[in-house]
């Protein structure tokens, strides 16, 4: 157990040394290194952005030409550039117009490191449902052919989420970054090549996994 803790602590120490607000920065760094979801100049939306480590990573990748918006129930105290905007609020109760900041252009990338309040009983159901809610709003936020990654706790409903991801993205899969704690069930699903015409609002776990595609560019 002590050895396991020691191995996990290296990311905490690295974050302190390299100026990241949390060890979770290394999760996004690995995901992006392996799948190239975020690129220079992209418009990125970070759902559940506190404490701000994913904002730090995304800001470095997109550069001054990109745009970054983060929203969380808690305020973010990090020092960010003028092309980064943060909102204190609940993404499920915030309009797409507010997230887009009055711009007509949708986001190139949506990322989420959100997790529901844990109870120790059925947490993975709540986590998977949160991801489903994100998918439900993607047509109003994410460009066709855009990319997305979300944290989820693996459980019985994980296959339902993956089926839906594979239906609405041209490429979809899951990654467990090295920075995830060994004892954690968290993993990250990702999608590349968003097909908005295939999304319908889900009523619950498993529902909406395989909707009929609407006419559009992806057919």
Q: Would you mind telling me the total number of residues written for the chain in this entry?
A: 219
- For the chain, the domain total comes to 1
Judge whether 204 lies within some domain.
Answer: no
Range of the domain at 108: 2-198
Q: What is the pLDDT of residue 205?
A: 47
pLDDT score, position 214? 32
pLDDT at 46 over 90: yes
- Domain membership of residue 213 (yes or no) is no
In a domain, 85, yes or no: yes
Tell me whether residue 49 is in a domain: yes
Mean pLDDT of 173-177: 97
> Which H/E stretch holds residue 162?
helix 158-168
- Decide: 166 and 172 in contact? Cβ < 8 Å: yes
Catalytic one among 10, 60, 93, 151? 151
pLDDT above 90 covers a percentage of the chain that reads: 74
Mean pLDDT of the chain: 88
Give the number of C-alpha atoms closer than 13 A to the C-alpha of residue 159, restricted to the C-beta side. 1
Q: Average pLDDT in the 177-192 region?
A: 90
- Does any domain span residue 112? yes
Q: Is residue 163 part of a domain?
A: yes
Confidence of residue 185 (pLDDT cuts 50, 70, 90): confident
151 among known catalytic residues = yes
CATH of the domain at 29: 3.40.50.150
pTM: 0.88
Q: What is residue 121's predicted lDDT score, i.e. its pLDDT?
A: 61
Which strands make up the sheet holding 142-153, listed edge to edge?
A: 84-88, 67-72, 43-47, 107-112, 142-153, 186-194, 169-175
Phi first, then psi: give them for residue 210, nearest 5 degrees.
-130, 70
pLDDT of residue 210: 38
CB atoms within 10 A of CB 216: 11
pLDDT at 160: 96
- Any domain includes 98: yes
């Amino acid at each position: 157990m002590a050895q396991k803790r020691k191995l996990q602590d290296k990311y905490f120490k690295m974050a302190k040394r390299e100026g990241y607000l949390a060890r979770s920065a290394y999760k996004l760094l690995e995901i992006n290194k392996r799948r190239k979801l975020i690129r220079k100049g992209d418009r990125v939306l970070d759902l559940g952005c506190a404490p701000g480590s994913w904002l730090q990573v995304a800001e470095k990748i997109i550069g001054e030409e990109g745009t970054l918006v983060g929203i969380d129930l808690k305020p973010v105290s990090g020092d960010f550039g003028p092309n980064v905007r943060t909102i204190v609020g609940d993404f499920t109760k915030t309009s797409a117009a507010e997230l887009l900041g009055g711009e007509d252009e949708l986001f190139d990338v949506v990322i989420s490191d959100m997790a529901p309040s844990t109870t120790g009983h059925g947490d993975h159901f709540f986590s998977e449902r949160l991801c489903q809610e994100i998918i439900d709003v993607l047509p109003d936020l994410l460009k066709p052919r855009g990319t997305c990654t979300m944290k989820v706790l693996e459980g019985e409903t994980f296959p339902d989420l993956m089926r839906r991801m594979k239906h609405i993205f041209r490429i979809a899969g899951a990654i467990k970054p090295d920075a995830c704690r060994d004892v954690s069930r968290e993993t990250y699903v990702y999608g590349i090549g968003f097909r908005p015409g295939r999304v319908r609002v889900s009523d619950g776990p498993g529902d909406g996994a395989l909707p009929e595609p609407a006419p559009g560019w992806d057919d």
